[in-house]
Chains A and B, each alone.
Chain A
Amino acid sequence: MEHFIETIGRNMFAIFGVLALVGALLMIGARSAIHSVLGFLFAMLNIAGCFLALEAEFLGVAQILVYAGGIVVLFLFVVMLVEMSKKHEGEVFQLQSRYAVLAVAGGVALFLGVFRKAIFGASSPEALVLRPELAKGLDVAHQNAQAVSRGLFADYLLPFEILSVILLVALVGAVVLAKTERV
């Protein structure tokens, strides 16, 4: 019993990973847009499970909060508002499939290199930290949020701020689109 539970606990990441893939396949394969969104939600929750299995609780919960709680709800909202008949829906959704296949193939080719190195290459003994003096006295396993915030606001401040500028641009763009439509 003890051994069995331990084995499951050790393989939790793999279990959640496989479930996430199942969710992704459901998302691609579903006929109705709402079922697609549900598959996406399932995949997102399982990715959160993957993070939790890696003891990255903050990331896992942020995944639920941001993707499952925010973004997918908005998807659902849009899909429900843009009501399409079943047949028309299929045509619209499969309009881009050949380009999508091309893009995915390119992405896979690019990422295979990364994955090959990540899986088979020698792993570095320590994580890449630019300012290790800030990490002193930080118990990463129990201070997840603090560790992530150190990464964001000390080690990688500039990339983080650039990301937020991109979000700001998107926001302004959304406002502009909404305004021009109304006039």
Chain B
Amino acid sequence: MPTPTLTQSIVITLIQCLLVVIFVFVVVPLTVFAERKVLGHLQQRLGSTRVASGHIGVTGWMNRGMWKWGKIPVLSYWRGIPGLVGDVLKLILKEDVIPAKADKFVFFLAPSISMVAAIVVFAAISFVPGTFFTFPTWFPYLGGLPVSGGISDINVGLLWILGVATVGVYGIVLAGWSSNSKYPLLGGLRSAAQMVSYEVPLTLSLLAPVVLSASLNFSEMSSRMAVGMPAWALIPQVIGFLLYLTCGFAETNRLPFDMPEAENELVAGFHTEYSGMKFGLFYLAEYINMTVVSALASAFFLGGPWLLPFGLQGLLNPYLPGFLSWFAAPHAIFFVAKIVFLLFTYIWVRGTIPRYRYDQIMAVGWKYLIPLALVNLLLAAVIRCFVV
């Protein structure tokens, strides 16, 4: 296999970045759409089935089409998907209001920090261990070169993810401060407190996979947590998974922990004063953060690019007949499927559990989640030390 020159490897990295961006911009709008539909059905209504405005013109034609579409059994759930285009147009074309007394520079900076911190995390996430695909030899300039499954699978990948994700809190805090208005400020302060406190149990619950897999490299961790260890050593990590997911919900400010934007208390929290694409960046960042949390959960607890979670794949592999061996190997599609399932769980929980009170959130974080995470870490250490 030829080794790429410096320029070639940079081009390959740019291609990987492009793939990641495409992945994000496919998953995020679909999650937004799914949120409407799933929440609708959870609340015994249909969700969005039409686009706005009446019976004439393009939208009227689309609405008539979607009325017919509703009679096809499964496809009827996908009605209203043209509404996404309208959403994006609205975000881009809406007037961008800047409050007169706002700190203009910080007001401009905050959404970009949120967005950049959310998307840069993907640098260390590897979708498949090893090579993702190889360019065919006829390909100009890059023929025969391999493209690895992650942009940069550095040896401290997990720390990179945690570190950059924490930078995202600035977006929210600064947005709250720079709006120069009281609801955003309260929302920003709440979120700073909430995110800093929930970072502790989040990191502690991720330390259990670190201890078990003895690595900080993303792909190494995910492969050891999927097939590298006996299943019974990993099954206790079901607790770790639930802990991580809870903290992840709090960290991404989703219900039941959406304190920074609790509508009935704070109007819309930290982004009350934002409109247009600046609001759009916050919106995108929230969904990208959800994707990142789901990606980490699926990589470290649900078996990553392997089919079965919690190390069960290692049990299954020896008994798989030859023609099913495709299921024993890692595939990016399994990884993405798990991410999508966890995104669905986000919506599911949002439709099921009511919002906590602010002091309850803090109490849960400090009094229950951190001790539980410590116990889980101790369990993992004992397993690592005496058994594996």
Complex Cα distance, B154 from A76, in Å, reads 30
A70 interface hit (Cβ, 8 Å) = yes
19 A-B pairs with CB atoms under 8 Å apart are A2-B5, A6-B6, A34-B106, A41-B170, A57-B154, A57-B156, A57-B160, A58-B159, A62-B163, A69-B162, A69-B166, A69-B199, A73-B170, A76-B174, A76-B192, A80-B177, A80-B189, A144-B156, A145-B156
Would B6 and A5 count as touching, CB distance under 8 A? Answer: yes
Whether A34 and B103, one on each chain, are in contact in the complex, defined by CB atoms closer than 8 angstroms, is yes
Across the A-B interface, give the 4 residue pairs with the lowest CB-CB distance, nearest first: A69-B166, A64-B163, A65-B163, A61-B159
Asked whether A32 lies within 8 Å of B192 as measured between CB atoms, the reply is: no
A117 at the interface (CB under 8 A from B): no
Number of contacting residues on A, CB 8 A?
31
Which residues of chain A from 41 to 77 have a CB within 8 Å of any chain B CB? Answer: 41, 45, 57-58, 61-62, 64-65, 68-70, 72-74, 76-77
B169 close to A (CB within 8 Å): yes
Does chain B have a CB within 8 A of A102?
Answer: no
By a CB distance below 8 angstroms, the chain A residues around B169 are 69, 73
B288 → chain A, closest Cβ, in Å? Answer: 18
Q: Which residues from 11 to 38 on chain A have a C-beta closer than 8 Å to any C-beta of chain B?
A: 32, 34-35, 38
Q: Does A95 contact B (CB under 8 A)?
A: no
CB atoms of B196 and A73 under 8 A apart? yes
A29 CB to nearest B CB, Å: 14
Given contacts A142-B155, A145-B155, contact A69 B192 (CB under 8 A): no
Which residue of chain A has its CB nearest to the CB of B162? A65
Cross-interface CB contact of B156 among A2, A45, A58, cutoff 8 Å: A58
| In the complex, chain A residues 67-100 whose Cβ is within 8 Å of any chain B Cβ | 68-70, 72-74, 76-77, 80-81
Q: Find A77's partner among B5, B159, B160, B189 (CB 8 Å cutoff).
A: B189
Do residues A61 and B156 form an inter-chain contact, with CB atoms below 8 A? yes
Known: A64-B164, A64-B167, A80-B189. A57 touches B173 (CB 8 A): no
CA distance A57 to B160 in the complex (A): 9
**Shortest Cβ gap from B12 to chain A (Å):** 13
B167 to chain A, nearest CB (A): 5
Number of A-B residue pairs having CB atoms within 8 Å of each other in the complex: 87
Task: Determine whether B84 belongs to the interface, using a CB cutoff of 8 Å to chain A.
Answer: no
Q: Mark A86-127, 1 if CB is under 8 A from B, else 0.
A: 000000000000000000000000000000000000000000
A1 at interface (Cβ–Cβ under 8 A)? yes
Does B196 lie within 8 Å of A70, measured CB to CB?
Answer: yes
Task: Give every chain B residue within 8 A of A164 (Cβ-Cβ).
Answer: none
Interfacial chain B residues near A73, Cβ < 8 Å = 166, 169-170, 173, 192, 196
What are the residues of chain A within 8 A of B10 when measuring CB–CB? Answer: 5
The smallest C-beta distance from B157 to any residue of chain A, in angstroms, reads 9
Contact in complex: B173, A77 (CB < 8 Å): yes
Q: When chains A and B are docked, how far (Å) is the Cα of A80 from the Cα of B191?
A: 13
By the criterion CB–CB under 8 Å, are A76 and B166 in contact? no
0/1 per residue, A139-179, Cβ < 8 Å to B? 00011110000000000000000000000000000000000
Q: How far is the CA of A145 from the CA of B188 in the complex (A)?
A: 34
Task: List the A side residues contacting B6 at CB < 8 Å.
Answer: 2, 5-6, 9
B-chain residues with CB within 8 Å of residue A80 when the two chains form the complex:
173, 177, 185, 188-189, 192
Whether B155 and A32, one on each chain, are in contact in the complex, defined by CB atoms closer than 8 angstroms, is no
